[in-house]
Structure 1
Amino acid sequence: MRDLRPAGWVILTYRDKPSLQPDQLYLEKIGLPIWEAEHRAAGLRQISAKTRRFVYERDGHMCRRCGVAAGEEYADDPGVHARLTLGHVNPHKSGNGANAEDLITECARCNETVKHLTGVQMTKEQVWDRMKELPLRGKRDLLAWMKVDHRPLSPAEKAWGMYRQLPAAVREELEKDLEALMRS
């Protein structure tokens, strides 16, 4: 869907059109025929399976914005489960490609929200006030994350991200196996 927007396609979500359900889309305008060679560059941004897999693994199969894992239920929206997607660090229209350095793992909700943040992003002062309130350990952690532009995941968080990628039946087996391991 996002690949069509730069080619002039207008596809609305429930955030744009309140009468839609969260899983519904509305095609408002058909853009350039990107299936034709002369229009392909206007829309398609193909990300190879290898690059997609690398980025998901690099990011621990978790949204880098909110930290939710694939298939995990949102804490503030019971019954709604996260679906991971890839987002561009800088907008594609600025000429950025589809290589791993330009991509981050995002849940669909954060990916869509980023587009709607214009005018409602927190100010530097608001963020600074929150940073000042952190205990010393929190400030140290935050500064380390800022320097590498990434929050390293603990081994348990990495295992959680990998676990969430497995089919439900396999996850149930692993849960039982871990319970048995901890009892012994």
Structure 2
Amino acid sequence: MLSWQDDNLGTMKRVALWLVSEVGEGNRFTKGQLREAFPGVSQVDRRMRDLRDFGWRIDTNREDAELDSHEQRFVKPGIPVWEPGRATRKSGTTAIGAGRRREVLHKDGYKCRSCGITPGEIYAGTHEAAQLDIARREVVKPDGTTATELVTECKRCRVGGRSLAANLDEVLRDAAGLNPIERKVLSDWVAADQRQFSRLEQIWSDYRSLPEDSRAAVRMELGLD
């Protein structure tokens, strides 16, 4: 294998080799260790993040609760970018610029399209504030082709949905099969870009987020315990 200390390689390739040979799969490291390994190399943090576009999984404390804020974990390697021709991004996986990011956030209503949380909102039962990011989602079109589209997701949903693909054809067929009343209800939700929950549905949602002792109190109130 090539050496991560070879200055003739690009920074991203060197970082990939450093993770494999020095950190090791499944192990933690800090930004300080990364910068110490590459003194004087500008944007080394960004070059490491670029590896995610090639299937490399590098978690922070947002994805791994066991990590401190200054730590990251090298979960698993992806494409061996140091091999000739392997560090070229596929179509649709170019870096997302700031302008495009703002456009996607605006179109998605500045909220996670998976769970509906907004930036800075606290996840139920935690002290963790949501952070929004732009994810690439494979979408199956009605003609059977697959396209990569951008969608706003919070960091928590993005990690859990990396392997998911959306199926537009299925959604269209399900929508076409609705009766007039169901179609009207769905149309109202789509027009408002949100679902209006009934009081019972909201209580159910709140109940599910309670710790077990508190859930037991609710069950007792309902005569179930």
Q: Which has the higher contact order (CA 8 A, sep 6+)?
A: 1
Please give the TM-score of this superposition, normalised by the length of structure 1. Answer: 0.49
